[in-house]
């Protein structure tokens, strides 16, 4: 019998398989970039993108967002979303104009510092012209009122990403670019912010976001949930998943507030796995250092069209009851990806390779196969296998970021590192990485440097072979 648990594990890999089916190249939106930036007032105009070649229009230039205050109302029957976003930001340059990322939806009003601002839409850019220019270093508030029927974006690998309607609500995940389908944002992981969410849904439905639940109130057939994510979070990790959920709440021995929301159709399959969450977090905390957030949990939705889970901050969202491997994987992302964030999508192996290696370590330390065995099984694949199709540390385009080389070869890279430097040093490197970059960012170059410092060895050849060449490496 094929269990829901198994399906979920396969689900996480669906995108990987899809990628291999899609061969088209992605046109780089250079024209859109130039168009949105405009030639005339360069220097005081915020760039239309954060400068990431894989997703040139994700994020924006000229400011950082410190805080998002999102007020949403979702009608699960009509699938209409009403939103107000208040962003508290700081200009990093003088700004006569700046962009937010927003795809679809109708914007009805934009204000900057309480004064109505000019705005226009240009593809996924919401171009805002404040009445008065913002000075470099100035803190400012942007208010955007918007509404409409959110639609997910289709990622270069063919997967749906963003606000994905379900039969009883919406599965909301934003990696890599779906945040813009439901709130105006600076949607690149280089920008991390705190969040407040106030989400109103029909009575009987539950709206689950990140962080801690501040309160819920029901009036006139609607329930409003207030959530707060106080630790810095990348926009792609935000969620506001809505469904008919069974809710479970408790506090772990370490004082972490757990909130699980489970679709009844997944409840039986999810229960034994979710029961392991505290012990998985505990085990990972011993390995990687203290759990980085004050809240945790899981959103187990019934969203058969989605095909993947996402490590939404503190509280991953699963498209179906996860198996234990998937729970371990998404939990490991809380350290690797969520707390320590990417500065460029090219470095995605720092997320996926690490989370995959966490699965191998979990198995090894819980009576299952050793990491060496997992490595060997992959290494046995012929040179023609998709595993060796492109370099894990340089997957080449947004189409490849969730492919097998990133996950599997990424994990193999860590295993090679472990063999080269020995367990003591290896585990110290992992822990130091999570600790030193906690609530911040990390690059591959920084990771290599750390590994070299801790081991006292030159590891250029190892990383070059495993991360930056394609083709199957010869036996070391
Ligand atoms: N980071 C997710 C994981 O845990 C995968 C997200 C896939 N997203 C997508 N749009 N295909 O592996
Ligand atoms: Zn992952």
Instruction: Ligand 1, residue 14: give the atom nearest the CA.
Output: 11
Ligand nearest to the CA of 402: 1
DSSP 24: P
Q: What is the pLDDT of residue 386?
A: 97
Structural domains present in the chain: 31-332 (2.60.40.1730), 341-468 (1.10.390.10)
User: How far is 371 from 374, CA to CA, in rounded Å?
Assistant: 5
User: How far is 442 from 88, CA to CA, in rounded Å?
Assistant: 24
> What confidence tens digit (pLDDT) does each residue in 422-442 have?
999 999 999 999 999 999 999
> What confidence tens digit (pLDDT) does each residue in 397-414 have?
999 999 999 999 999 999
116 DSSP β-pair partners: 111
Residue among 222, 123, 236 at smallest CA distance from 189: 236
State residue 300 phi and psi, 5-degree precision: -105, 100
Q: Which residue's alpha carbon is nearest to atom 1 within ligand 1?
A: 310
Q: How many residues does the chain have?
A: 476
pTM: 0.92
**Which residues are CB-contacts of 267 (< 8 A; sequence separation ≥ 6)?**
246, 300, 321
Secondary structure class of 312 (helix, strand, coil): coil
Residue with tokens 């009003």, as numbered in its chain: 109
User: How far is 431 from 426, CA to CA, in rounded Å?
Assistant: 9
User: How far is 303 from 160, CA to CA, in rounded Å?
Assistant: 12
> What confidence tens digit (pLDDT) does each residue in 338-389 have?
999 999 999 999 999 999 999 999 999 999 999 999 999 999 999 999 999 9
Q: How far is the CA of 277 from the centre of ligand 1 (A)?
A: 20
Per-residue DSSP letters for 174-209?
-TTTGGGGTS-B--STT-EEEEEEEEEEETT-EEE-
What is the rounded average pLDDT for all residues in the chain?
92
Instruction: Ligand 1, residue 316: give the atom nearest the CA.
Output: 4
User: How far is 118 from 127, CA to CA, in rounded Å?
Assistant: 8
CA distances from 415 to 23, 43, 241, 408, 421 (A): 30, 46, 35, 10, 10
Segment holding 133, helix H or strand E: none
Please calculate the CA angle 294-299-301 and round it to the nearest 5 degrees.
175
User: How far is 329 from 352, CA to CA, in rounded Å?
Assistant: 9
- Ligand 1: residue of 18, 236, 308, 405 to mutate (most ligand atoms within 8 A of CB) is 308
CA distances from 259 to 77, 138, 277, 312 (A): 26, 37, 11, 13
Instruction: Ligand 1, residue 18: give the atom nearest the CA.
Output: 11
My answer on whether omega of the bond before 386 falls inside 30° of 0, hence cis, is no
């Amino acid at each position: 019998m094929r269990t829901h648990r198994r399906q979920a594990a396969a689900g996480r890999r669906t995108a990987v398989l899809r990628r291999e089916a899609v061969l088209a190249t992605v046109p780089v939106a250079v024209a859109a970039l130039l168009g949105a930036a405009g030639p005339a007032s360069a220097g005081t105009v915020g760039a239309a993108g954060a400068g990431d070649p894989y997703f040139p229009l994700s994020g924006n230039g000229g400011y950082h967002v410190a805080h998002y205050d999102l007020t949403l109302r979702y009608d699960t029957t009509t699938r209409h979303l009403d939103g107000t976003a208040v962003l508290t930001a700081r200009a990093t340059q003088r700004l006569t104009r700046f962009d937010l990322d927003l795809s679809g939806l109708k914007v009805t009003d934009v204000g900057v510092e309480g004064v109505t601002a000019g705005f226009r839409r240009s593809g996924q850019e919401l171009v805002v012209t404040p009445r008065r220019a913002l000075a470099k270093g100035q803190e400012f508030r942007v208010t955007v009122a918007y509404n409409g029927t959110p639609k997910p974006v289709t990622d270069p690998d063919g997967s749906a990403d963003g606000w994905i309607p379900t039969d009883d609500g919406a599965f909301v995940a934003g990696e890599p670019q779906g945040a813009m389908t439901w709130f105006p944002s600076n949607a690149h992981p280089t920008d991390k912010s705190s969040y407040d969410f106030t989400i109103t849904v029909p009575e009987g439905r539950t709206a689950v976001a990140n962080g801690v639940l501040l309160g819920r109130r029901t009036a006139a057939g609607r329930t409003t949930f207030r959530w707060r994510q106080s630790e810095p979070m990348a926009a792609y990790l935000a969620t506001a998943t809505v469904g008919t959920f069974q809710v479970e709440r408790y506090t772990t021995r370490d004082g972490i507030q757990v909130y699980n929301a489970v679709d009844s159709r997944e409840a039986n399959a999810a229960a034994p796995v979710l029961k392991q969450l505290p012990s998985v977090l505990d085990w990972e905390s011993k390995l990687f250092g203290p759990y980085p957030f004050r809240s945790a949990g899981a959103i187990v939705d019934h969203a058969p069209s989605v095909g993947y889970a996402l490590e939404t901050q503190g509280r991953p969202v699963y498209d179906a009851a996860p198996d234990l491997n998937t729970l371990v994987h998404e939990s490991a992302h809380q350290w690797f990806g969520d707390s320590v964030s990417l500065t460029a999508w090219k470095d995605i192996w720092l997320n996926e390779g690490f989370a995959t290696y966490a699965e191998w370590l979990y198995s090894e330390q819980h009576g299952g196969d050793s990491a060496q065995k997992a490595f060997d099984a992959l290494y046995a694949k012929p040179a023609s296998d998709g595993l060796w199709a492109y370099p894990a540390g340089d997957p080449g385009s947004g189409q490849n970021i969730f492919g097998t080389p990133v996950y599997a070869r990424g994990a193999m890279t860590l295993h090679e590192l472990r063999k080269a430097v020995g367990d003591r040093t290896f585990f110290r490197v992992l822990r130091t990485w999570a600790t030193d970059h906690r609530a911040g960012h990390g690059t591959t170059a920084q990771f290599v440097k750390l590994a070299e410092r801790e081991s006292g060895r030159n590891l250029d050849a190892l990383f070059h072979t495993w991360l930056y060449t394609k083709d199957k490496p010869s036996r070391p």
